[in-house]
């Protein structure tokens, strides 16, 4: 078996890892980005060692990397998440970045992992900001999925199940999100924490598995993709960028009451909702234009919601969101 990990993820997982005395284990240190170059490096190591399976231990990018390499080699994949920040451990999808961390594309695989192992002892030691990011990313399952579902004339049973799972994501996270973050900070495994972690990994994964392209991603993730191209936003995790993208998408939809409903929750959860939160101000005209342009380039999923979208509309939505969030922040203070 090829065990793919980073130093820190292995330190956390090692106490829980079985001895597997009769199975040869080759340890491979992940380079840090889910890029095509890194995928090829993993594949080369797996082929040279003649392994039968790949084990991925880490966060979303590493798990996506293991899925890409394993599916390409037609090897079985076992995933052990060390963070509750995405549904990467569940879905048959990998997000690909370049070596600088900018979004490139996502790939759909023939199958997801053969086995997913969730160890509470590992996740209880995960950084709180990753759970927060997971909440932001998973909230998008509802706001993107529902917006796409509203455009469907009819829904199959699978799409109905995905739609229900997306609603369940929203309800659980809005109900238990703040409590779960507080419990993780205290190092306490509670019902609220378990519900949020399972929602981020499992329920979230069901949305894409049952809904496919009909409920997978839309505007929020396209805004995220645009944000990956500016250095000022690199301090934000994937789910934090997606959380900001939810607000921009809702603005484009004209769903301002939903934005107003979310802003107090974002403030409680410490999710980004202003330009300052993402490392910018209204004076960063070039960067805002870059986010807008990248988010609407050909092939971006925002076009599933808005076929006639352009960078000017996205830039205007960001500016309008800034006005709305600043007014809301003043009233909440």
Catalytic residues: 137, 221, 224, 238
Confirm if 89 and 205 have CB atoms less than 8 A apart: yes
225: how many CB neighbours lie within 10 A of its CB? 27
Q: Are 184 and 131 in contact (CB under 8 A)?
A: yes
In whole angstroms, give the CA distance from residue 89 to residue 79.
6
Classify each residue of 83-106 as buried b or exposed e, where b means 16 or more C-beta atoms within 10 Å of its C-beta. bbbbbbbbbbbbbbbeeeebbeeb
In a 10 Å sphere around its CB, with 0-12 CB exposed, 13-18 middle and 19+ buried, how is residue 123 labelled?
buried
A 10 A CB-CB count for 150 gives 10
Tell me the pairing of strands 26-29 and 53-58: unpaired
Helix (H, G, I), strand (E, B) or coil at 98: coil
Cα 70 versus chain centre, distance: 20
282-285: list long-range contacts, CB under 8 Å, 24+ apart: 282/319, 282/322, 284/232
């Amino acid at each position: 078996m090829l065990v793919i990990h980073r130093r820190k993820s292995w330190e956390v997982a090692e106490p829980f890892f079985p001895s597997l005395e009769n199975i040869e284990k080759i340890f491979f240190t992940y380079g840090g980005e889910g890029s095509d170059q890194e995928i090829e490096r993993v594949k080369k190591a797996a082929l040279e060692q003649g392994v039968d399976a790949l084990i991925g231990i880490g966060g979303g990018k590493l798990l996506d990397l293991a899925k890409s390499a394993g599916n390409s080699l037609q090897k079985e994949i076992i995933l052990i998440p060390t963070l509750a920040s995405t549904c990467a451990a569940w879905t048959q999808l990998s997000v690909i970045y370049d070596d600088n961390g900018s979004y490139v594309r996502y790939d759909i695989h023939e199958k997801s992992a053969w086995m997913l192992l969730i160890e509470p002892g590992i996740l209880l030691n995960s950084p709180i900001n990753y759970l927060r990011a997971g909440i932001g990313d998973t909230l998008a399952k509802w706001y993107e999925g529902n917006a796409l579902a509203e455009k469907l004339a009819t829904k199959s049973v699978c799409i109905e199940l995905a739609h229900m799972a997306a609603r369940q994501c929203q309800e659980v996270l809005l109900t238990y999100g703040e409590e779960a973050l507080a419990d993780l900070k205290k190092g306490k495994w509670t019902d609220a924490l378990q519900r949020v972690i399972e929602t981020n990994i499992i329920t979230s994964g069901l949305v894409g598995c049952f809904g496919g392209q009909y409920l997978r991603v839309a505007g929020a993730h396209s805004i995220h993709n645009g944000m990956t191209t500016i250095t000022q936003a690199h301090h934000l995790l994937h789910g934090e960028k997606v959380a900001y993208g939810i607000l921009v998408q809702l603005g484009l939809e004209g769903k301002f009451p939903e934005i107003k409903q979310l802003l107090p929750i974002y403030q409680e959860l410490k999710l980004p909702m202003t330009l300052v939160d993402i490392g910018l101000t209204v004076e960063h005209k070039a960067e805002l234009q870059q986010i807008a342009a990248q988010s609407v380039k050909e092939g971006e999923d925002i076009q599933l919601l808005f076929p006639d979208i352009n960078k000017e509309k996205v830039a205007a939505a960001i500016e309008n969101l800034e006005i709305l969030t600043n007014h809301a922040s003043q009233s909440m203070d």
